[in-house]
């Protein structure tokens, strides 16, 4: 088991220049505020920030593993019905730790894992056309238990199951993860007798991947959740450390804050040089955007802050976004995800010795080429005075994924202190949910519906 590290050399002024790089003195100056930020976050771990302790909930982990063992070999497909924080972590970890072709190729006794994090009728309709509901286990995940998207998926799949299997037998095909007592999904669990898991108090959606929200579907799909949790626990130990320069979460949070406030870089690009890590960038995009993108400061002042997360994939986006990244506006900083050791080593066959433009590849490895492209991208960014940091994964394994998740969650919590906003609410998301309830005619939302109707444009202009 190796250690995830954060290399911030290429974010500093002595490497990318003083205009766009952070001066060591600027980092030093933020160190004591960073320590205070960390202490403020850690002081809440037994209160409202219980997500910090998720790697240590042994009883919950055993319950999840016991359920996965009981369900093993019984279903062709595990289907997550959930959205946002109830989906993105599972998608990212599945992509990182299962084969990229898991849902297509030979899986042995393991089920496919689908995360339906949308309600586009074409997505759901096609799923029903392609897959037999009686071969599926549906894991309905909603912390609030009221999200319209998830509830509507539940209604559709429950109905399809009852039609195929009857009222009694359908129960075994549903499992619900929701709040212990609040929300309509908990009420439904009681009425129907579905298997259920709890999203604990103090665990917001985007901080919940290491709770049953992520653990249940991942364990069902054969992922070593204990390895992920061990990595998170090991990183938690490091992230409690008061020594600023020994704590990657503190350093990353400080860099993010300085890049935006001192270097005018509102865009934070996560550039994964690993296909398997690519969707961690999607998970982080939500974590960063929902946590830090806020109108109000903690004192209630309008501040309108927040970095804009951007996702990119190496080498693919070198042939797409890189032009903009090296020559466009100086409004971005970059976080590269890099992997020291791949599972596969692939040698390029030697051929066409007389053709220099191809013969130099012969005998080298695809691994060398991939690393050269990654290092070349960093060289190009640095030469163009674009600051970057690199998270170096020793390899893509459960331990490293757990480390990354815990590190980034603590970092974002610390960013909340720097930006002086509440990193754990999401009024903007709730506003969208309320508008949808109103437009769908839900009781209690009549006034909002009237407001929406009266404020909608009177004239439509289309071409």
Buried b (16+ CB within 10 A) or exposed e, 236-255: bebbbeeebeebbbbbbbbb
Region of 318 on the Ramachandran plot (φ > 0 left; ψ -120 to 50 alpha; else beta): alpha
Residues 280 and 91: their CA atoms lie apart, in Å, by 8
Minimum distance between the CB of residue 289 and ligand PA5, rounded to whole angstroms?
A: 10
Minimum distance between the CB of residue 148 and ligand PA5, rounded to whole angstroms?
A: 9
Buried b (16+ CB within 10 A) or exposed e, 262-300: ebebebbbbbbbbbbbbbbbbbbbbbbbbbbbbebeeee
437-444 contact pairs (CB < 8 A, 24+): 437/148, 440/148
- Please identify, using beta-carbon distances, which residue of 290 and 317 lies nearer to ligand PA5: 290
Minimum distance between the CB of residue 416 and ligand PA5, rounded to whole angstroms?
A: 14
Of 63, 182, 230, 433, which residue is the catalytic one? 433
Minimum distance between the CB of residue 199 and ligand PA5, rounded to whole angstroms?
A: 7
Minimum distance between the CB of residue 188 and ligand PA5, rounded to whole angstroms?
A: 14
- Please identify, using beta-carbon distances, which residue of 185 and 255 lies nearer to ligand PA5: 185
Q: Is 340 helix (H, G, I), strand (E, B) or coil?
A: strand
Q: Is 223 helix (H, G, I), strand (E, B) or coil?
A: coil
Site of tokens 């319950």: 63
List the one residue out of 276, 278, 221 whose CA is nearest residue 103: 221
Instruction: Tell me if residue 433 is catalytic.
Output: yes
Of 290, 332, 399, 418, which residue is the catalytic one? 290
Give the H/E segment covering residue 374.
Answer: helix 366-383
Q: Is 326 helix (H, G, I), strand (E, B) or coil?
A: helix
Minimum distance between the CB of residue 177 and ligand PA5, rounded to whole angstroms?
A: 9
Residue 27 CA, distance from chain mean position: 27
Instruction: Tell me if residue 195 is catalytic.
Output: no
Q: In this structure, are residues 417 and 257 in contact, taking their beta carbons and an 8 Å threshold? A: no
Which residues contact ligand PA5 (rule: CB under 6 A)? Answer: 83-86, 142-144, 147, 150, 204-206, 290, 426, 429
Residues 79 and 101: their CA atoms lie apart, in Å, by 17
Residues 211 and 179: their CA atoms lie apart, in Å, by 12
Minimum distance between the CB of residue 208 and ligand PA5, rounded to whole angstroms?
A: 7
Phi (first) and psi of residue 267, to 5 degrees: -100, 130
Q: Is 31 helix (H, G, I), strand (E, B) or coil?
A: helix
- Please identify, using beta-carbon distances, which residue of 214 and 314 lies nearer to ligand PA5: 214
Of 59, 168, 319, 356, which residue is the catalytic one? 319
Residues 268 and 309: their CA atoms lie apart, in Å, by 5
- Please identify, using beta-carbon distances, which residue of 55 and 204 lies nearer to ligand PA5: 204
- Please identify, using beta-carbon distances, which residue of 178 and 338 lies nearer to ligand PA5: 178
Q: Let me know how long the chain is.
A: 463
Q: Which residues are catalytic?
A: 290, 319, 433
């Amino acid at each position: 088991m190796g250690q995830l590290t954060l290399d911030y050399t290429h974010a500093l002024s002595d490497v990318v220049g003083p205009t766009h790089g952070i001066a060591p003195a600027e980092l030093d100056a933020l160190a004591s505020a960073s320590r205070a930020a960390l202490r403020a976050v850690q002081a809440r771990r037994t209160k409202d920030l219980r997500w910090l302790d998720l790697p240590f909930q042994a009883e919950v982990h055993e319950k999840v593993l016991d359920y996965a063992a009981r369900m093993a070999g019984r279903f062709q497909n595990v289907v997550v019905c959930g959205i946002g924080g109830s989906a993105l972590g599972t998608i990212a970890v599945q992509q990182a730790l299962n084969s990229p072709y898991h849902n297509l190729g030979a899986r042995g006794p393991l089920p496919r894992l689908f995360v339906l994090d949308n309600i586009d009728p074409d997505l759901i309709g096609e799923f029903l056309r392609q897959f037999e509901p009686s071969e599926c286990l549906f894991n309905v995940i909603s912390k609030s238990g009221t999200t319209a998207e998830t509830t509507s998926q539940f209604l559709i799949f429950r109905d399809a199951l009852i039609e195929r299997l009857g009222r009694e037998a359908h129960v075994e095909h549903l499992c619900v993860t929701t709040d212990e007592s609040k929300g309509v999904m908990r009420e439904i669990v009681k009425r129907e007798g579905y298997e259920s898991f709890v999203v604990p108090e103090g665990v917001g959606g985007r901080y919940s991947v290491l709770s049953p929200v992520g653990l249940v579907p991942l364990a069902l799909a054969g992922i070593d959740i204990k390895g992920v949790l061990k990595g998170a626990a090991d990183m938690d130990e490091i992230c409690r450390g008061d020594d600023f320069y020994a704590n990657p979460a503190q350093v990353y949070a400080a860099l993010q804050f300085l890049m935006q406030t001192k270097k005018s870089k509102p865009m934070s690009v996560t550039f994964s040089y690993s296909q398997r890590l690519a969707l961690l960038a999607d998970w982080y995009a939500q974590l960063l955007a929902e946590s830090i993108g806020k109108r109000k400061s903690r004192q209630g002042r309008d501040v309108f802050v927040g970095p804009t997360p951007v996702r990119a994939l190496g080498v693919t986006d070198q042939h797409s976004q890189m032009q903009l990244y090296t020559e466009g506006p100086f409004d971005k900083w970059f976080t590269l995800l890099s992997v020291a050791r791949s599972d596969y080593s692939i040698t390029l066959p030697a051929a066409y010795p007389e053709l220099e433009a191809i013969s130099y590849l012969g005998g080298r490895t695809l691994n060398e080429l991939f690393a050269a492209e990654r290092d070349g991208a960093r060289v190009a960014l640095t030469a163009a005075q674009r600051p970057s940091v690199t998270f170096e994964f020793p390899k893509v394994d459960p331990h490293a994924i757990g480390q990354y998740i815990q590190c980034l969650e603590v970092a974002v919590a610390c960013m909340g202190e720097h930006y002086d906003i509440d990193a754990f609410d999401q009024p903007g998301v709730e506003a969208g949910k309320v508008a949808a309830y109103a437009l769908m005619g839900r009781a209690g939302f009549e006034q909002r519906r009237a407001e929406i109707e009266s404020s909608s444009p009177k004239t439509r202009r289309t071409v």
